[in-house]
Structure 1
Amino acid sequence: MKTTGHYLRIGVLSLAVWITGIYGAQAQLTGTSYASAKNSGAGVLKVTFVETPGFVYRDASGQLTGVCVSILEDFTAYVQRVHGVQLRLDYSGDGSSFANMYNQAKGGSNGVVGIGNITVTNARKSEVTFTPFFIENKAILITQKGKANLGDLSKIGDIFGGMTAYTAKGTTNESRIMRLKNNYWSAMPVEYASSSPDVLAKVLANPNGFAYLDLVFYVDAIKNGKPIQRHAAADDTSEQFAFVLPKGSDWGPIWEEFYRHGTGYRNSTEYKRALMDHLGPAAMRLIQSTN
């Protein structure tokens, strides 16, 4: 005979499953597919983002701005002009987590786009659709100021002996740190942080810390007077940043068309103005030195 407690446990479990289903459904982002938008003449792009200096950030009034936001606005203007579709941008989330941004884009449907410092990798290509890249990244190895310069990667165990590497899990900068560890210093201590800003904070708090920062985070730190030192021998320019769409999104070909139109979007005045306005001349010089 089943007891009252037995049925109570079943009821609680059923309620938990029901609540999980509701919140799981709410968590999925859904925008308008290109096919639907073309048919009706209007649609919504649901935008998930991770705040990134120069790329996606809030201005003095609290509004989102940056290179990625400018590109989205240029894209919506192009779609209206060429395809006759009026798009509304609907931003979702608080921008605090790269993982949340990426997973929302990956798990979204139809007109969803993820923006920020998102590296194009072969592993991610199996999970999402990338737009064409919008910028080439330079990853920079930093310490606090005053450390001996790392002029030869093979000597990192000697020059950085007693120091600790910081990185955020699941990022390409983690892969870089692990490459240094595997290739040059097997005993390298590695500790994890929640995000790129947290990585920088840990280096600033520990005179014996070091880390890789993406170019925009490095330039932002220098601009804000942070006492950090670049070790140029460890610069890595082997990656590109792009937006992410749900796998197989029918907006993919429209993004490719947008980047190809005219002499190419990355050659346009609008694009170059966005880089200068939001990244500044110091970042522009570093970007140009990668090309």
Structure 2
Amino acid sequence: MRIRSVLIIFVNLLLLSQVPVMGQTESWHQAQKQGHAKLNLHWYISNPFIYKNQSGNPEGLEVEILESFQIYIQNKYNVTLELKWIENNSFNNILEHISSEPKPNSFGVSAFSITEKRNTIVDFTKPYLSDVAVLVSSKGTPIVRTLGEINKMMSQMTAVTIKGTTYEQFLLQLRKQLNLDFEILYIESDKNILDEISQDDDRFGFIDLPIYLMLIKGGGTLTRQNFFTIKGNGYAFIAPKNSDWIEIFNEFLADPKTSTKLANITSKYMGPELYNFIDGLYGQENLGASILTKEKEIQLEQLKNANLLIEKEKNTRVTYIIIAIVTTGLLAIIIILFYREQKVAKILSRKNKQIERQQQSIQNKNEQLSNRNLQLTNLNEEKNNLVKILAHDLRSPINQITGLLEILKVGNKNFKDDDLKIIHQAKDSAERLNQMITKILDFDALEGNRMKVIPEDINIKELLKSVKNDLKVSADKKKIKIHYNSQANISLKSDHLFLTQILENIVVNAIKFSERGTDIFVDAQRKKGNIIFSVRDEGPGLTDEDKSMIFKKFQKLSAQPTGGENSTGLGLSIVKKYVDLLNGEVWVESEEHKGSTFYVALPIS
């Protein structure tokens, strides 16, 4: 009996030891048993993620995310969660506190980027937003492209950052890669990197992409340097190692309803347009181009708004002028009435007629402008329709040519190798022409700069060989010898079709304006991070006036084709379009009677 009593007491003590006591370490497991819990949220200002409102309380998208999490576990697990906001002195202070915190119910808040180094001392939740850092420099700083320009700029400027942040790591990484010893200015954690960069004309530093985009959308004028953009693993919250709150929070993030809430919350603070863009960066490969495109969209929107504001101010100014004129007229009439009562009728009549003539003149001008705009719109629509019809009508006969060539190749087994090679070249040309129609003759896309660049690895030697084969007949017809030369084993990642059309258009132009029996030299060399193509002819050369119009549409130059060929004036304007799409540069060097050399420089990566 005594043994049984002892066993009962032992079991009761064991059960009591399993009951959580208020004030003990609060894990998620214990919170489920107790039905209530508290999260200690350590934060520091990082607008728009978290900041103080007018009442001094924390506000921002991270605050609303955690409040949504509070509602989620209340609804799903019937656990009442208290959020205790604890303001810290710096980001480093938060990181140190969480890494040494023994209790699992502490979170670090303030847009923490997920890094391998931090992951060794704290645990991260799943990311709630894409993490991209961009390099910005002071207002008026030129955008640098080449390595030489980058080194020159960095050596003359001072970097601004906060110690212990990912921004500092990026600067140290940049300094190591460029092998430069530029000065780094460390500021206190409570200061803003953007403000420090804006105060001087020789500073630069890393900031988060959302903050930068919100800056330029608000009219900010800092310069973004496109050569060093870093995509991280995302923004997340941090917790002590092995905290089981991470698991339930990740479950909350994975819930489909949470995705909708996150989109609404982030759109509230960044705007739907910026949120959709940043959220879509998870799968972006060409990150720099995507950001550049978004910058241009924002700048165009700002320009549009500025034009609307100018128009509004103009209308207001016209209204004030009219009011001033009318007021002055009325005052003059009152004075004249006082001194020359007999002439009032004539003066009023003359003034009224003058105003009527002005109004009629304004009305006539408005009607003329409206008619001209309507005519231009109709002409533009007719042009677009004509281009689309032309593209559609050309596609069918080209497809027939391709099919007939295939039938010819398959149906006759007695062709020699040279004949098959000619048939293969003709078929390749027809297929490329079909691609060219699809890509180029979409005139609306060409004019609107919406052509899609499809990058692929291009062997330069093979490319020049293809151009040589395609243009051999044209050159032989005028007994022109084309010399092709390139450095060994150089390649380029770019759009193969665009680059082929660029080179063929320039070489065809050289053949067209060269005399019979002359030489043309085509060269490709690697220079300072670029592949530079050059096409030199022995033609009549260009005047200064020709060089100013050479890349514009429908321009007829002083030089004429030497073999009676047709010239539409479009070839080199299309070359300029394609080079711009490939982020390259095209120019010409020429003197009258001394030939011309066209250059195309394309970045290697």
TM-score normalized by structure 1? Answer: 0.81
Tell me: CA distance 1:152–1:85, structure 2 relative to 1, closer, same or farther (3 Å): farther
- Residue in 1 that maps onto 2:268: 277
Contact 2:114-2:232 at 8 Å conserved across structures: no
The structure richer in helix per residue is: 2
User: Which residue of 1 is the match for residue 130 of structure 2?
Assistant: 136
* CA displacement, residues 103-147 of structure 1 (integer Å, 9 cap, x when unaligned): 222222121111112111111111111111111111111112211
In structure 2, C-alpha distance between the alignment counterparts of 1:283 and 1:181, rounded to whole Å = 30
Matches of 1:64 and 1:157, distance apart in 2: 42
2:40 partner letter: K
Q: How far apart in 1 are the matches of 2:149 and 2:277?
A: 25
Aligned AA (1:44): K
Residues 127 and 234, structure 2, Cα contact 8 Å, conserved in 1: yes
- Tell me which residue corresponds to 2:100: 107
Q: CA contact under 8 A between 1:196 and 1:217: conserved in structure 2?
A: no
CA separation of 1:196/1:240 partners in 2, compared to 1, >3 Å: closer, same or farther?
Answer: farther
Q: How many Å separate the matches in 2 of 1:153 and 1:170?
A: 28
Q: Contact 1:196–1:213 at 8 Å: present in 2 too?
A: no
Residue 25 (structure 1) aligns with: none
Aligned residues: 258
Question: Are 1:199 and 2:193 counterparts?
Answer: yes
1:222 CA drift (Å): 3.5
CA RMSD of aligned residues (A): 2.2
1:105-254 maps to which residues of 2 (within 5 A)?
A: 105-108=98-101, 109-152=103-146, 155-195=149-189, 197-222=191-216, 225-254=219-248
Aligned amino acid, residue 269 of structure 2? H
> Would you say the 8 A contact 2:154–2:182 is kept in 1?
no
2:139/2:221 contact within 8 Å kept: yes
Deviation at 1:58, TM superposition (A): 2.2
Secondary structure of 1:203's aligned partner: helix
- Residue 53 of structure 1 and its aligned partner are, at CA, apart by 1.1
- Distance change (3 Å), C-alpha of 1:119 and 1:170: same
Shift, 1:160, TM fit: 3.4
**Amino acid of the structure 1 residue aligned with 2:58:** L
Structure 1 stretch 142-151 or stretch 218-227: which is displaced more? 218-227
CA deviations on 1:50-104 (whole Å, 9 max, x unpaired) are: 21111111233333221111111111111111222110101012x5411112222
Give the letter aligned to residue 283 of structure 1: L
CA pair 212-159 structure 1, distance change in 2 beyond 3 A: same
Equivalent-residue separation in structure 2 for 1:152 and 1:259 (angstroms): 42
Q: Distance in 2 between the 1:31 and 1:229 partners? A: 49
Q: Name the aligned partner's letter for residue 231 of structure 1.
A: Q
Where does residue 21 of structure 1 map in the other structure?
none
Q: Distance in 2 between matches of 1:33 and 1:103?
A: 20
- SS of the residue corresponding to residue 156 of structure 1 reads helix
1:20 — aligned with what? none
**Residue of structure 2 aligned with 1:55, choices 39, 49, 52:** 49
| Partner SS, residue 234 of structure 1 | strand
Which residue of structure 1 aligns with residue 66 of structure 2?
72
Contact 1:45–1:89 (Cα < 8 Å) also in 2:
yes
1:82 maps to 76
- State the alpha-carbon separation in 2 of the partners of residues 239 and 257 from structure 1: 19
CA distance in 2, matches of 1:117, 1:275: 13
Alpha-carbon shift at residue 280 of structure 1 (Å): 2.0
The amino acid that maps onto 2:261 is E
Structure 2 alignment gaps of length 5 or more: 1-23, 283-605
C-alpha distance 134-289 of structure 1, shift in aligned 2 (>3 A): closer
Match of residue 470 from structure 2: none
- The amino acid that maps onto 2:70 is T
Structure 1 counterpart of 2:507: none
In the other structure, the counterpart of 1:5 is: none
Per the TM alignment, residue 271 of structure 1 is displaced from its structure 2 partner at its CA by 0.9
Q: Deviation of residue 195 (structure 1)?
A: 3.0
Distance in 2 (CA, whole Å) between partners of 1:153 and 1:248 is 45
Q: Is the 8 A contact 1:129 1:244 kept in 2?
A: yes
Q: Determine which structure has more spread, i.e. the larger CA radius of gyration.
A: 2
Distance 1:200 1:191 in 2: 13
Tell me, yes or no, if the aligned pair for 2:48 and 2:61 is still in contact at 8 Å.
yes
Contact 2:132 2:229 in 1 (8 A): yes
Amino acid at match of 1:272: A
SS at match of 1:233: strand
Equivalent-residue separation in structure 1 for 2:169 and 2:147 (angstroms): 16
8 A contact 2:43–2:109 mirrored in 1: yes
Question: Which moves more between the two structures, 185-194 or 129-138?
Answer: 185-194
* C-alpha distance in 2 between matches for 1:36 and 1:152: 59
How far apart in 1 are the matches of 2:167 and 2:26? 33
Deviations 1:226-260 (A, max 9, x none): 43111223221233111001111121211122122
